[in-house]
Structure 1
Amino acid sequence: MTVENALAGLAEQGWVAEAEADEAVSRRVGRPARRFRFRAEAGCMLGFDIGLHKVLAIVADLRGQVLGTRRTAVTPALPAEERLAAARRLGHCTLRSAGLTAQDVRGVGVGTTGVVAADGTVTRSDLLPDWTGTDLVTAFTEPFDAPVMAGNDARLAALAEHWRGAAAGTEDVLYIHVGRRISSGLLIGGKVHTGRHGAAGELGVLPSSRWDTAPGRLLAHWADPQTLFAAAGAGEAKALAALEDFADDLAQGVAAMTLTLDPELVAVGGGLSRAGRLITDPLSRRLAELCLFPVPVAASQLGDEAVALGGIRLALNAVERELFDVNG
């Protein structure tokens, strides 16, 4: 009876529905069993990636199935309030494209650049100075009338890779974002490790890591990353040498973190990860020289949607805790 009462409560809240009986299954003697299904369509989740040059929004059902994706370009000079307004507008647009409204939203997950505290406040952002102090929870709670979770973009990308990307099936993961900047996220026991101030993995602040200048050196003599990747793919010596040098720069910080965490996998995401094995292979070779044990290196499977998908997963975790945690 306790199970029936629990199911009745979930059905009343719209989370489950009684499933039709399967006529192909022969009935046993006695009272027929009632079957229930989880209503993934009972609401939706919104995930955001708010960056320097773009804002990306994803809407998904309660199983995490993506229903719609939208993105818009922004600039680093855009004031914080306008950046937030652009994200909120994009969120509503993404909902409409999926035939949904703000009333359908059950949770929101926001990923962004900078150090993000546990309460969803950006406590430090060197790339967007006026972003420091932004309260992401307050900024998104009222427009979507749902619980809001927020975190650093690289950490949410790591969570997404663990959920449905290159790090699926692994527990201890080092995620490296390589783009116009380099940053990292840590998973320990399958959970995001943020540290006391939300700054775990911010190795790029150390000049000796070479992370702060590596992207600029890589792209100094190329019109854009795609031109570089095409040249390297064609075997052009200058392009291959540039990627080898970049992997060497990247390896200084990755090796230090690998020796600290001893991860099962190093996942490489961000715009420059589109080079695939042209970056992961030389990085793997360099790590083998620097570390005590070899560690697999894999390119992201989620592309530039990783952060927003991590926001979806973060919000789903919060909803699942609310539904399934049992207090004494």
Structure 2
Amino acid sequence: MQPSAAAATPQLLRRVNARSVLGVIRATDVATGSELMSRTGLSRASVIAVCEDLLRRGWIRELGPRGGDHPGNPGKGRPARRFELNRAAGFVLGLDIGAATTTAAVADLRGTVVGRASGSFRAADIPAAERIAVVDRACRQALADAGTGPDTVLAVGAGIAAPVDRDGNVLVSQHFWSLFDVGLRTALKDLHGWTVLLENDANLAVLGERWRGSGTGVDDLVVLLAGERLGAGVLESGRLLHGRGGAAGEMGYLDLVEGVGSSDGIASLARQWSAAGGGPAAGGEASARRVFQDAAAGDPAALAILDRIADRMARIIASLASFINPEQVVIGGAVAASAGVLLPRITALLPRFTATPPLVTVSSLGASIVTVGAVRHALDYVEANALELELVRPGS
């Protein structure tokens, strides 16, 4: 075994070095050879060899010398070589697949969304083939919107409203969850050759929030998707929690929590309590927005509803604080734009319910929070496997 292991060592070192260099280039706009040496600890010869390989593969581009930094300047020596990520070398897809709708976002290798499209399902319990067809159509439309095609996709992150284990298998112990077990990974692999990374939508939401939301850089973070039903994505020490079957963060336990009693979300509660009081109950999310609008105008009944919701959310967040102890809890999803008004009362109530109250914020990512996380999840895969992925060259 020793000769084989020794023979593999140079190749292994090249891969490790390439990932290190590519990681630095991804994290900055432009990197010089000297900067790459400093940040990776590699020799100049190793850095240049890696960069030449990445240039040949298409992952990076070499820029011309900066102004005043060129061979014509006497005494300046050799101009510094400068490299940047080739952000259009390939694309990733981020999918948010709910019971009623799906959204597809196309992003370049910097994570900038360059195309988007949505589709609707005629019913929650449609056949698997029909659900896959709607998702595939949204993907194709988003790629067309981005001016590219299926062959440029390097990975797909897909969030669904059901628990998903570490291997991408859907937990089907509840009927609603089973509606999402449609064989999406295999179907898109067969159709386009795509690698599909299936995840729970709240798990992707917490990845998105840590990347580009109010939880940037926070390692102990919870995101509560709080629209119709509550679901939580949990990061502990920067690690996404799944549990044995992917059900970490499921909120069914709230049925047993005093003063809560269900996993209904903010929009659902606003609608229910408005209807019970004779308020504007028709229109789903529209009625929830109406409650917030009426409260802003000083309507006593609407203000009372928001007080009840804040009390309930404080108890829910306190329960998370008691057994997870996050630094921050973010209220996310379509209700986030309205939920900011609840924060002062939630924050004031938390010390009554827990000895470890977290910072509570609302997400600025709005309804795109899951697709942002799905893009991040796909980029993580691409970054970890760049040397094994083949890029499609223009005209090839």
TM-score normalised over the length of structure 1 = 0.91
Q: Which SS does the other structure have where 1:37 is aligned?
A: strand
Q: Which SS does the other structure have where 1:123 is aligned?
A: coil
1:81 CA displacement: 2.5
Instruction: Flag the structure with larger Rg.
Output: 2
| 1:50 aligned onto 2:94 | no
Which residue is 2:309 aligned to? 246
Which residue is 1:219 aligned to? 271
| 1:316 aligned onto 2:316 | no
1:226 CA displacement: 1.5
Q: Which SS does the other structure have where 2:124 is aligned?
A: coil
Deviations 1:121-141 (A, max 9, x none): 212374635425433322322
Q: Which residues of 2 match residues 270-285 of structure 1 at below 5 A?
A: 270-285=333-348
Task: Give 1:143's match in structure 2, choosing from 181, 188, 191.
Answer: 191
- Distance change in 2, residues 1:293/1:118 (3 Å): closer
Question: Over the residues paired in the alignment, what is the CA RMSD in angstroms?
Answer: 2.2
Bigger fraction of residues in strand = 1
Q: Counterparts of 1:56 and 1:153 in 2: how far apart (Å)? A: 12
| 1:18 aligned onto 2:62 | yes
Q: Which SS does the other structure have where 1:70 is aligned?
A: strand
1:31 CA displacement: 4.1
Which residue is 1:89 aligned to? 137
Which residue is 2:176 aligned to? 128
| 1:287 aligned onto 2:350 | yes
Which residue is 2:53 aligned to? 9
Number of aligned residue pairs: give it.
Answer: 325
Deviations 1:119-178 (A, max 9, x none): 222123746354254333223223342322111001101110110011113221111111
Query: How high is the sequence identity, in percent, across the aligned residues?
Result: 33
Tell which deviates more after alignment, 77-86 or 168-177: 77-86
Amino acid at match of 1:51: G
Amino acid at match of 1:50: I
1:190 CA displacement: 2.6
- Distance change in 2, residues 1:132/1:56 (3 Å): closer
- Distance change in 2, residues 1:83/1:283 (3 Å): farther
- Distance change in 2, residues 1:238/1:127 (3 Å): farther
Which residue is 2:23 aligned to? none
Which residue is 2:146 aligned to? 98
Amino acid at match of 2:81: R
Asked if 1 retains the 8 angstrom alpha-carbon contact of 2:161 and 2:180, the reply is no
TM-score normalised over the length of structure 2 = 0.76
- Distance change in 2, residues 1:134/1:286 (3 Å): farther
Task: Give 2:233's match in structure 1, choosing from 185, 208, 219.
Answer: 185
Deviations 1:169-211 (A, max 9, x none): 3221111111111111101223322122211111324411423
- Distance change in 2, residues 1:204/1:254 (3 Å): farther
- Distance change in 2, residues 1:214/1:303 (3 Å): closer
Asked if 2 retains the 8 angstrom alpha-carbon contact of 1:64 and 1:313, the reply is yes
Asked if 2 retains the 8 angstrom alpha-carbon contact of 1:122 and 1:136, the reply is no
Q: Which residues of 2 match residues 146-185 of structure 1 at below 5 A?
A: 146-185=194-233
Deviations 1:292-328 (A, max 9, x none): 1332211111111111111100010111112389xxx
1:20 CA displacement: 1.1
Q: Counterparts of 2:263 and 2:246 in 1: how far apart (Å)? A: 20
Q: Counterparts of 2:344 and 2:188 in 1: how far apart (Å)? A: 41
Asked if 1 retains the 8 angstrom alpha-carbon contact of 2:254 and 2:316, the reply is no
Which residue is 2:126 aligned to? 78
Q: Counterparts of 2:190 and 2:344 in 1: how far apart (Å)? A: 46
